[in-house]
Amino acid sequence: MVLIGNSFARTTDYWKKRTGHTDVLVQLLIVLGDIDPVRNVGGKQRHDSVERKILEENEEREEGEMIWNLFGRIGLGWNLNVDRSLDHQTPICHMGQQLSKRAPVSFRGSGSFSFVSSLSAGLEAVDNGLRISSVSSGQLSLKEDAMNWHPMSEATDREYNCVEGSHYFLPNDDEEKDRLFTQHYFLGQLWGTHVICEPVRELLSRPGSKVLDVGCADGVWMDAVFARYPKAEYHGVDIAESMDEGHTLSSAKYEFGNVLEGLPYLDSTFDYVHQRMIFTGVPKAKWVAVIDELVRVAKPGAWIELVELDMKTYNAGPIDKMFADAVSAVMEKRGLDSIAGSNLMSYVSQFNAISNDSGIQLTNVTTKVVSSPKGWNGQVGDAVIKDYEQFLISLRPFLPHVLGISLERYDELVSENSRECAECKSFGNFTCVYAQVFKDSSL
């Protein structure tokens, strides 16, 4: 089996810093999404379920199994159950059971869906003088002058991307990279794979298939896919200036670029274009243009895959409802889509309507939804709530001002929210839409 060779040796020190581990096997298992980075910190704790077993290069993994990697697997005691049909009427649960009957998912037409929530509005609580209301964000008492906060407007100890034309308001520093690392772990566990688009898995087994990861950050997703599909050629693009080709297992080729301004690639270059979790940087008005750009760089017959989240929690307690409403209000104020996951199919449909006359269409469109427990039901739930905590901490420079509370009270509420989510059995939903690119060469 062809393994990682020289590129592996180059990455050891870097991933020791990222994972907190000196053990190379544990570093790889965390990078590939098989060990929970939340529970494995400081380079001391080894997960006792790690089984050292090298897979044959072409060994197939059955649907629903725990994800296998090049170097081993981790058993968490449950089988993944990812929704594979469009008539599923409840949020999808990674434990193979229904998370809640309070927020059914209603599917309509060829893959489109909408959430129907029965969470009651008007639930109120008084917490140490802070009035927390679960009514819609439009009725919250928020300080709008703080919503347009920009990292250059005041001093902060976090580092940010200072890229002209970028709407992304999250940091770009080691703390944020750690959060994205945690997110990578639980997304792999929730979906049961790092390549959700099933037809792509066969395509990636062919030598020379070209993969593009848009918004690639440190390239951890490409590393994980490379471990399973080492014959493909990997490319990453991001607005972050700290990308280093020498740090990746996949030997990915990096480019600096902003998808909102156009990708730095020729037409019809890639066989598989992947993009996930960039909804905090894409305005509603530009989503169709973003899809158009992804399609432009994709070859005829290629696949694109989009993964996004709704800034909405089901079974939410009053604190989490307050946070979600405030973040949603901030995003709406900035022109961003706080329910981008739910709207992905709509954006694809709009693209098809606009591009129909040009002979370019997205076909074989498929939608999948998976639910994420926040702070309950094992290691994945722990990772989900850790990611959410880190997300809220990254908004600390301005969200307390939006809510009109002190930094100290904000920190207390972030901590209390984790406990509340576990008690309420709160969860969110991630949506994946993938489609095949059709380009009529006669036009």
For the chain, the maximum distance between any two Cα atoms, rounded to a whole number of angstroms, is 68
Among residues 162, 297, 158, 177, which one has the least CA distance to residue 237? 297
CA distances from 118 to 20, 55, 139, 313 (A): 42, 46, 18, 12
pLDDT score, position 175:
86
Amino acid at 158: R
Among residues 218, 251, 258, 253, which one has the least CA distance to residue 235? 253
Q: Measured between alpha carbons, how far is 151 from 318 in angstroms, rounded to an integer?
A: 29
Q: Cα torsion for 313, 316, 320, 326, to the nearest 10°?
A: 60
Tokens of 370: 């998976």
Q: Is the pTM of this model over 0.85?
A: no
Amino acid at 116: V
pLDDT score, position 237:
96
Among residues 351, 32, 367, 344, which one has the least CA distance to residue 181? 32
SS3 270: strand
Inter-axis angle of helices 24-31 and 5-19, nearest 10: 80
pLDDT tens by residue, the chain, 443 residues: 434 444 444 454 555 555 555 554 555 555 555 555 544 433 323 222 222 222 222 233 333 332 222 222 222 222 233 343 223 334 444 332 333 333 333 222 233 322 222 222 222 333 433 444 333 334 455 666 666 666 555 667 777 666 665 566 677 678 888 888 999 999 999 999 999 999 999 999 999 999 999 999 889 999 999 999 999 999 999 987 655 555 677 889 999 999 999 999 999 999 999 999 999 999 999 999 999 999 999 999 999 999 999 999 999 999 999 999 999 999 998 899 999 999 999 999 999 999 999 999 999 999 999 999 999 989 999 999 999 999 999 999 889 999 999 999 999 999 999 999 999 999 999 999 999 999 998 76
SS3 442: coil
Tokens of 17: 């810093």
Q: Measured between alpha carbons, how far is 237 from 254 in angstroms, rounded to an integer?
A: 6
Residue entry with tokens 């009109």 = 404
- Report DSSP letters for 36-76, one per residue: -TTTS-TTTPPPTT-EE-PPPTTPPPPTTSPPB-SSEE---
Among residues 7, 58, 69, which one has the least CA distance to residue 35? 69
